[in-house]
Amino acid sequence: MYKNFGLNKKEKKFMADKKSKKSTIGLRVAAIVLWVLAIVAEVIGVLVLFGKIQTPEAYMLYFLIGAIVLDLIFIIIGSQLWKKANHINPASEKNAFAFWLQNNLGVIVSVIAFAPLLVLILINKDADKKTKTIAGIVCAVALAIAGVTSYDFNPVSQEDLARAEAYFNDTTVFFTKNGKVYHSHEDCGYLKNSKEILNGKVKAAFEAEKSRLCKTCAKKDGVTNETLLVQE
């Protein structure tokens, strides 16, 4: 069903993806550590806000914004690691709550890491209007950014991976580092201008967060969303 078209090696560089046996434990531990650091940054922000950590009054706003920015950095990096782990070792859809929780944990942590601080900023009676306004806006924007970047718009389940592995078996699929999908045909038009193409079993594509089959390749193969996850 799939042919090897032998692309010109001078134009294309193929590399086998070797991450298929990679454990997710390190990714999840790192994500949790970063999330804990994010909450620590939030606590520091609260302490600064209520004067428990002494700062020059003229610089309190800057310390508060610094805590919020650190909070956001830790959340974003932690959530990206968590989402990556979810694609390498996805949850099963059989337990709907566990599946939802694993794929939305980053969003939940984002709310925990920003919402309390935002509320305290808005209700604090001792902070001046300028501090409350600017810090409140910065915190609200950070909450929105953290939520969006932590949300997985293409969650994957164990069943999705199992269906793809059963369908492709040992067939090689192709994908690029910055692409969003994988391809079953190495002569696909969407790969034409790619200088570096990764190839491997479909599990390697899932691990690289390419869980959907290219719509052009799917059309060639007669595949629909009822069979596999297909690019919309």
Average pLDDT, the chain: 88
Structure tokens at 91: 């949850």
The count of other CB atoms within 10 Å of the CB of residue 109 is: 24
One domain, residues 165 and 215 = yes
> Cα 218 to the chain's mean position, in Å?
25
One domain, residues 132 and 43 = yes
- Collapse the DSSP code of 28 into the 3-class scheme (helix H, G, I; strand E, B; otherwise coil) and give the result: helix
One domain, residues 146 and 161 = no
Given a cut of 90, whether residue 136 has pLDDT beyond it is yes
Q: Which domain holds residue 201?
A: 157-221
Paired residues of 173 in beta bridges:
200
One domain, residues 32 and 146 = yes
In a domain, 54, yes or no: yes
d(CA 68, CA 216): 43
Specify the pLDDT at position 22: 54
Higher pLDDT, 115 or 16: 115
Which of 13-17, 118-122, 198-202 has the largest mean confidence?
118-122
What are the pLDDT digits (tens) for 102-131? 999 999 999 999 999 999 999 998 888 999
Burial class for 130, CB neighbours closer than 10 Å (0-12, 13-18, 19+): exposed
One domain, residues 100 and 204 = no
Per-residue DSSP letter, 183: B
One domain, residues 195 and 131 = no
d(CA 132, CA 12): 55
One domain, residues 135 and 186 = no
| Domains identified in the chain, total number | 2
Burial class for 93, CB neighbours closer than 10 Å (0-12, 13-18, 19+): middle
Specify the pLDDT at position 24: 86
Cβ partners under 8 Å of residue 109, min gap 6: 35, 38, 39, 75, 78, 79, 150
Per-residue DSSP letter, 88: H
**For the residues 71-98, what does the mean pLDDT come to?**
95
Specify the pLDDT at position 20: 40
Of 102, 120, 150, which one is at a domain's C-terminal end?
A: 150
